[in-house]
């Protein structure tokens, strides 16, 4: 599984990071690094929850960090 972490700055100055392959995995932060860290944590929690509930099979996970 490959996941891309995308990040962009909103008009109001906040940063928004998301993992497009995991619907709903997006997070805001005051800085790019903060938003990306929050989104990465959320993505890992979603994946752990899916594994825990048998909704996904264990697999290699690769996360690439790209800034938009």
Q: What does the radius of gyration of the chain's CA atoms come to, in whole angstroms?
A: 12
Cα–Cα distance measured from residue 25 to residue 45, given in angstroms and rounded to the nearest whole number: 10
Q: What pLDDT sits at residue 13?
A: 96
62 pLDDT more than 80:
no
Would you place residue 64 in the very low, low, confident or very high pLDDT band (cuts 50, 70, 90)? low
The mean pLDDT value for 25-46 works out to 95
Supply the pLDDT for residue 32: 95
Q: How many CA atoms lie within 13 A of 54 on its CB side?
A: 0
The mean pLDDT value of the chain amounts to 87
Contact (CB, 8 A) for 56 and 49? no
Whole-number pLDDT of residue 52: 86
């Amino acid at each position: 599984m490959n996941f891309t972490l995308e990040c962009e700055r909103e008009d109001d100055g906040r940063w928004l990071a998301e993992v497009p392959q995991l619907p709903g995995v997006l997070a805001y932060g005051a800085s790019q690094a903060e938003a990306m860290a929050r989104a990465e944590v959320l993505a890992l929690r979603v994946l752990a929850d899916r594994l825990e509930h048998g909704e996904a099979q264990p697999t290699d996970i690769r996360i690439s960090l790209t800034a938009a």
